[in-house]
A = this chain, B = another copy of it.
């Protein structure tokens, strides 16, 4: 009969705490926010009352009046790619350092769901947005960038965009990969590309450019792949169906490289004795001793940190001109690359 008592006990508010502690709601607010100008006696009373009631501040109400959330939203394109594990860890680290909370969403590599995920974050009024390897188009990013600070991670962004970006030099990385193979004596170096993935275009261009510069134009073989293992497997299948076989393959990323390796091993080819494989991202996967994949490293943890830092500059320091940070990738040689087989097929037929 008494609705107040029989209801499923609604969450206590600042008012309940105030009543219990015998002070005003303003005072409770001050204590919760950790303001100095409160007498020890009141502070203690408030704290006790809050603890007894199990009071938890309502962030929504707070953000509403402050018009800011102290939350940075992160849209991660693919949570299954171990690469993003590192990125995320860098982001969290730096964010907590700067007093920000982090919320993640993912688009599962689908444009449409990415848009949805980003929309969710925006409706929450996050103070800033990090897009890690987004697949949505530049226009959309630009549009979003006009209403909230945005940092694009791992995807080259035109300097005209209103968004910041933190990327590695994909083109240079791709060239490193090709040069490494060339230095080992390879000529027939193929590329399984990353399709529409973030930075895939640049890696493709870097590959072609490098091949051309090394005078290997006629050996350019480019098959379509993607940033996942099955795509790498498919790409490798396509390579296997063509003659002559390449002696080295530069895969769009580590996952893709793993798929390719599987296909090659399945076809009875030895790695790197028959065919060398090099990946990109230098994920924990590549580092597994059992895998030991040669790869191009990008400092993902640091890049995550930088992204948060850039956001911070915009939000709290009032920076307005966009910045575009490009970090240098580096080559990590492991056991999936080596000299080409002594007697390449073509030579035998002479």
Residues on A lying within 8 angstroms of B by beta carbon are 10-11, 54, 56-61, 63-64, 67, 69, 79-80, 82, 84-86, 88-89, 92, 96, 101-106, 108, 116, 119-120, 122-125, 147, 229, 258, 261-262, 265-266, 284-285, 288-291
Contact (Cβ within 8 A) A59 B123: yes
Contact (Cβ within 8 A) A108 B92: yes
Question: A59 and B258 in contact (CB under 8 A), knowing A80-B85, A106-B92, A265-B289?
Answer: no
- Copy number of this protein in the oligomer? 2
How many Å lie between the Cα of A261 and that of B92 in the bound state?
A: 31
- A122: which B residues are within 8 A, CB to CB? 56
How many Å lie between the Cα of A80 and that of B88 in the bound state?
A: 9
- A229: which B residues are within 8 A, CB to CB? 284, 288
Shortest Cβ distance from A102 into B: residue: B105
How many Å lie between the Cα of A116 and that of B101 in the bound state?
A: 10
18 A–B contacts from the bound complex (CB under 8 Å): A11-B147, A56-B122, A59-B123, A60-B61, A60-B69, A61-B64, A79-B79, A80-B85, A80-B284, A88-B106, A96-B116, A101-B105, A103-B103, A104-B104, A258-B290, A262-B288, A262-B289, A262-B290
Shortest Cβ distance from A61 into B: residue: B64
Contact (Cβ within 8 A) B59 A124: yes
Shortest Cβ distance from A87 into B: residue: B79
Contact (Cβ within 8 A) A64 B60: yes
How many Å lie between the Cα of A85 and that of B85 in the bound state?
A: 10
Contact (Cβ within 8 A) A258 B11: no
Among B57, B60, B265, B290, which residue has its beta carbon within 8 angstroms of that of A63? B60
- A266: which B residues are within 8 A, CB to CB? 289
- A63: which B residues are within 8 A, CB to CB? 60
- A86: which B residues are within 8 A, CB to CB? 80
Contact (Cβ within 8 A) A54 B147: yes
Shortest Cβ distance from A143 into B: residue: B54
Contact (Cβ within 8 A) B88 A101: no
How many Å lie between the Cα of A84 and that of B82 in the bound state?
A: 11
Shortest Cβ distance from A88 into B: residue: B79
14 further contact pairs, Cβ within 8 A, besides A102-B105, A266-B289: A11-B147, A54-B147, A61-B64, A79-B89, A80-B82, A80-B89, A80-B284, A92-B108, A103-B105, A104-B104, A104-B106, A258-B288, A261-B290, A291-B291
